[in-house]
Structure 1
Amino acid sequence: MTPDDDDALLDSDSDSDSAAFDDGDSPERLPRGLTLRALVPNAITSGALCCGLTGIRFAIAGDFRSAVLAVIVAGMLDGIDGRVARAMKAQSRFGAELDSLADAISFGVAPALILYLWSLQEVPRFGWFAALALAVCCALRLARFNARIDTEDQPHKSAGFLTGVPAPVGAGLAMMPLYLWIASDRPEFRHPAGVAVWTAVIAFLMISNIATLSWASLRPRRSVRLELILVFGLVFAAMLTEPWLTLVGICVFYIALIPLGVARYARVRRQRADARAATAAHV
């Protein structure tokens, strides 16, 4: 599940108890366990965690292409575990906590170490602090989300927006210089100073209070929905033929949407303020 996409809360304890018989006639209750239904979304979350850790292993071996792909697979699994949990009615606090721990490693620690081993280690002091910033900011973002789960007053969420850049998206954005380097093999994309600055900027965006667009806030007009289906199909085909340049394009597109999200949320705030003023005037 993804806390930044509001997919938190997985799993549930079993609703039924088992019974064992002592001497053939005395029933004895056994401790409750997780049902198979509840294990499925947790298994997906565990798979995402293992993918993130495997990405670190590939980076240590110098296979940065596989390292990036491992983090991307972790993001894909993270995007479906929450939906699976809701579809199977297997949501619980346990799942939310497991998801946050997995996200902190897969989208905080793993990308930070991959970038450090790829480029930032050439300037170990400055580069290590940039990697730390990415990992720590990811953990802080997830902790902030967990702290607000039961809070009713969440202006961004109530308007269909997210607060800051989601953890999986932040991990993908942070590795954009790596995509460019793999696609072009140009050494300037591996320059440690530039990578460090870029990593620090993405880390800041993850813990910022700016409103970013969520799936709930994207409501395309009916007149363009067929065109959007075509675009998604073409993007999928591009991922198969030119994956690294396609990832760069997706990152650039998302970054271009950030000012749009800020502007749309500012309009929502003005509308809410006007509504409150009108209500107060009628009282």
Structure 2
Amino acid sequence: METPVSPPEPSRSGDEGRGPRLREIPLRLVVPNLITVLAICAGLTGIRLAFEGRFELAVGMVLLAAFLDGIDGRVARLLKATSNFGVQMDSLADIINFGVAPVLVSYAFLLDGARSLGWIAALIYAIAAGLRLARFNVMAEREQKAAWQAEFFVGVPAPMGAMLVLLPVYLGFLGVEPSPVFVYGSTAYTVLIGYLLVSRLPVWSGKAETSKIRRDLMLPILLVMVLYVALLMSYTWEVLVVTVVAYLIMLPFSARAWKKRYGTLTIEDESANV
């Protein structure tokens, strides 16, 4: 006995010859993710240039990656294009641009001279950067944030860590010879920066609403920023060395400000736990 075949359903007008319709995505949602992808490309290109011996270009690409990685979130908020996909992309870019790329450039330029110790130092820094970013993500997702989170970071932030760990490279560009003392000192310095990333050292962020600038100081501060950028373009490595040293000097004052307000030298709070 033959099974009866049901007649085909009539096709809707306008759907003939068309497959399933894909949901369209506004262009403004693509822009922040495109910036993130460009940042990853810049960081990976910096690694390639370092192993090709073009170290100045390599550092430039790593710094460009850090800059792009720093603005993609702001662009997303400006365009009202934030998404969970973008957050995950940004996290992946952070570990490449702030954890892997800078320390591999440093390893190819200098730390390789310390052989296994140099590689161990590079591994410690890269893992510390990953732990630092994971802790930041956990703290950012908490519904109830501590009041101090608007004013202080827990440990040195990963973007600044990337700039700090390249200090021996900047000094090498300025003519410091890669003597054994400098190589092994740079290895210990790399481990120190890794420790500062995962430490509970309170680091002033400057993002608090109470951090305000007097109106009459606004123009002088803008002029100083213009001067800084001009000097950075003309004397790049000298300015970066001064910037790194000034930031390191600032850390004890940041801890002192925290102790004056909260009575301890390190951050001990439930919201800071991993």
Distance, in Å, in 2 between the alignment partners of 1:210 and 1:239 is: 29
Q: For 1:118-267, what aligned pairs fall within 5 Å after superposition? A: 118-155=109-146, 157-188=148-179, 191-217=182-208, 218-267=211-260
Distance, in Å, in 2 between the alignment partners of 1:156 and 1:184 is: 45
Contact 1:58 1:66 in 2 (8 A): yes
2:96 counterpart (81, 91, 105): 105
Distance, in Å, in 2 between the alignment partners of 1:95 and 1:149 is: 15
Amino acid at match of 1:233: V
Tell me the equivalent position of 2:61.
70
The worse-fitting range, judged by mean Cα deviation, of 251-260 and 173-182 is 251-260
Amino acid at match of 2:14: G
Tell me the equivalent position of 1:40.
31
Amino acid at match of 2:187: A
Change in CA separation of 1:190 and 1:84 when aligned onto 2, cut-off 3 Å:
farther
The worse-fitting range, judged by mean Cα deviation, of 116-125 and 128-137 is 116-125
Distance, in Å, in 2 between the alignment partners of 1:234 and 1:189 is: 37
Contact 1:164 1:209 in 2 (8 A): yes
Tell me the equivalent position of 2:14.
24
Contact 1:108 1:135 in 2 (8 A): yes
Alpha-carbon offset, residue 241 of structure 1: 1.1
Distance, in Å, in 2 between the alignment partners of 1:242 and 1:79 is: 23
Gaps of 5+ in 2: 1-10, 264-274
Alpha-carbon offset, residue 185 of structure 1: 4.4
Amino acid at match of 2:259: A
Gaps of 5+ in 1: 1-20, 271-283
Change in CA separation of 1:233 and 1:129 when aligned onto 2, cut-off 3 Å:
same
Amino acid at match of 1:260: F
Task: Find the residue that maps to 2:203 and give its secondary structure.
Answer: strand
Q: TM-score, normalised by structure 1?
A: 0.81
Tell me the equivalent position of 1:277.
none
Alpha-carbon offset, residue 201 of structure 1: 0.6
**1:152-192: per-residue Cα shift (whole Å, max 9, x none)?**
44437534221111111101100011111102343349832
**1:35-81: per-residue Cα shift (whole Å, max 9, x none)?**
21111001111111111000000111011101110011011111211
Task: Find the residue that maps to 1:212 and give its secondary structure.
Answer: strand
Change in CA separation of 1:25 and 1:130 when aligned onto 2, cut-off 3 Å:
closer
Change in CA separation of 1:235 and 1:266 when aligned onto 2, cut-off 3 Å:
same
Contact 1:159 1:268 in 2 (8 A): no
Distance, in Å, in 2 between the alignment partners of 1:55 and 1:85 is: 25
Distance, in Å, in 2 between the alignment partners of 1:143 and 1:164 is: 13
1:82 counterpart (73, 89, 92): 73
Distance, in Å, in 2 between the alignment partners of 1:236 and 1:188 is: 32
Contact 2:114 2:187 in 1 (8 A): no
Distance, in Å, in 2 between the alignment partners of 1:51 and 1:22 is: 49
Distance, in Å, in 2 between the alignment partners of 1:200 and 1:92 is: 35
Contact 2:110 2:178 in 1 (8 A): no
Change in CA separation of 1:267 and 1:94 when aligned onto 2, cut-off 3 Å:
farther
Indicate the RMSD between aligned Cα atoms, in angstroms.
2.3
